[in-house]
Structure 1
Amino acid sequence: MEDSQVAFRLELGVTGFRDWSDPPLPSTDPRTCRAAWHAAARAAARAAGGQVEDFTEQEYPQNFHSARISDRDGTHSALFHAHHPLIAFVGDRRYWYTDEFQEPPAWATVLTDVGFVVLSAAQLLLPLTESDTSALSATEWRQIKHWRPETLGATLFNSWD
């Protein structure tokens, strides 16, 4: 998991927006996300009897896939960024997120082992102003100014249209 003391760098296109003249946004393959989620479920099963409840692919305007695992500690919901290999854990499933981010369960390290960056609640709840936004495009900044996300998490995992 990432160190929350280091400014998180938002990569170009991380908001899900680009100018028509920019290259296409990268894509996080839903099949890869789903496979990683099933690997996490196996780890959760060993730790606490976990099993996959579901995996839902991103639908416009959301820029994330969502998934749930249930174990004896409850239900764990995760957001997989649709353009970058980033994962956030949240309480309940919602259309958009502002400050509902949670610390990942211990078994989430399996997700980092397969190439994802699992973000901590502390990182996701940081003010956007404490992140490195130098790679964002003018198009992304227009969206940020319009939607006014206050946190890194609200910027990364959004349903802006």
Structure 2
Amino acid sequence: MYFVATGKQPFADCAHDEFLVLNICNGNRPEVNMSEAPKCYIDLMKQCWNSNPDNRPNAIEIYESIELFVDSCDSGVFSEIKKERQHYEIEKQIEEAEEYRKLHLTSLDENKRLVTHPQAIYTSRLLNPFTKSIPKYDNVDNNTVEIIDFTK
């Protein structure tokens, strides 16, 4: 969701190592410019980042939210009279984000050329090297976070 909102990879400027794992466990999230995407989309993305999995939306809720975003921009789905205030607000947010994107297309092209950190890895891999040196740590809520190696 972050890449869709910003056109950039998350954490591209740092090594993808045990320190990044700990930072994420402690609540560190990629920064998002509120002008880059509709507020409703950014809010949904941040809900997905919640440190408590029980507070994250499930796949159906994500689908329904995105469907609402799309429907809000589709004039064929709702007549102007029937559009609810929420649909107008979502449509406005999407239009503003699209205007921002158009104004900043050249800078987005430059961002794509930015060099990522040499230890930033965007392919799936086992976390085993990271989990060996991290038996357990405290997160932001002072709950103990234990990282378990499921490869054993």
The bucket for the TM-score relative to the shorter chain is under 0.3
Whose Rg is larger?
Answer: 2
State the structure with bigger RCO (CA 8 A, min sep 6), 1 or 2: 2
Instruction: Give the structure with the higher percent helix.
Output: 2
Q: What is the TM-score of this pair, normalised by structure 1?
A: 0.26
Instruction: Give the structure with the higher percent strand.
Output: 1
